[in-house]
Amino acid sequence: MIVSALQFCPAFLDVERNLETLTGHLRDRVSDVAILPELCTTGYFFHDAEQLERVAETADGPSVTRFRDLAAERDMVIVAGFAERDGDAIYNSAVTAFPDGRSEVYRKVHLFAEEKAIFTPGDGGFPVYDWGDRLRLGVMICYDWRFPEAARTLALKGAQVIAHPSNLVAAPRLWKPVMRARSFENKVFTVTANRNGEERRGEERLVFHGCSQIVAPNGTTLIELEEFDTGWISAEIDPATADNKAFSAWNNIFTDRRPDQYGN
């Protein structure tokens, strides 16, 4: 199975243009699973809630519809971040679109910085999706990396691959080794699709550091991009290798766990 991550710079607030760009990238790449960055249809550094309102969409809006159509056309699973409107709430979400027309939405649980002022935190937990018997896929978004519980919860629920759509502003020297650890400590593949470029708000400037990576269950980086690269990385993987949680002849990192000793 080929899994891929796209690194690019979205046009701020220009959903139509971003969907065209993403459609081009998705039609360019042969892959089984394609992971796009957080908020890849809108950009990130909203000035206020009203600006976010203007680009937020429901889970059957034009962006999700386009990803569902492309998943069917390209016969691939697509994971893509978007701003999701549901009633009065707006979530920082990621859709997972399957080739058979099914789609699922994860709403970011751990909101970062000023996201707290404009998004509603997700309360749907960390779901794992079955793609027939081919793959069990978990999703977490960006700042969820800072919480071992996110990847651990997904792995305990059986995820073999964790998709990690991101708009990381932290230095890659911080999050890259942590995501390798998330793979190693759970024996799962992790795929971080981070955006690049910068966005400005008056005098303020946010820089997104790219460096997308795909990591194997033993913590080894299979492939990675540089900060300013635009395009895809892909790796051929066997998801079933993530089902083996043995660490030695005597040890299994899941059955050795002692939740009764952890206290919370």
Of the candidate spans 45-53, 69-77, 99-107, 165-173, the one that interacts with ligand ACM by CB under 6 A turns out to be 165-173
Of the candidate spans 9-17, 24-32, 166-174, 255-263, the one that interacts with ligand ACM by CB under 6 A turns out to be 166-174
How crowded is residue 171: how many other Cβ atoms within 10 Å of its Cβ? 10
Name residues contacting ligand ACM, limited to 64-83 (CB under 6 A).
none
Query: Among residues 70, 77, 64, 93, which one has the least CA distance to residue 23?
Result: 70
Q: Tokens 């700042």 label which residue?
A: 143
Give the three-state DSSP class for 255: coil
Write each residue from 140 to 159 as x if it is in contact with ligand ACM (CB under 6 A), else as -, in one continuous string: --xx----------------
Name residues contacting ligand ACM, limited to 32-51 (CB under 6 A).
38
Among 168, 179, 235, 237, binds ligand ACM (CB under 6 A): 168
Q: What is the DSSP letter of 243?
A: G
**Active-site amino acid positions:** 38, 108, 142
Give the three-state DSSP class for 24: helix
Q: Does 208 bind ligand ACM (CB under 6 A)?
A: no
Closer residue to ligand ACM in complex, CB, 32/115:
115
Give the three-state DSSP class for 175: helix
Among 76, 95, 169, 193, binds ligand ACM (CB under 6 A): 169
Closer residue to ligand ACM in complex, CB, 114/130:
114
Q: Tokens 């994860």 label which residue?
A: 106
Among 18, 167, 186, 213, binds ligand ACM (CB under 6 A): 167
- For every residue of 75-131, DSSP letters joined together read TSEEEEEEEEEETTEEEEEEEEE-TTS-EEEEE-SS--TTHHHHSPPP-S---EEEE
Q: Where on the chain is the footprint of ligand ACM (CB under 6 A)? A: 38, 112, 142-143, 167-169
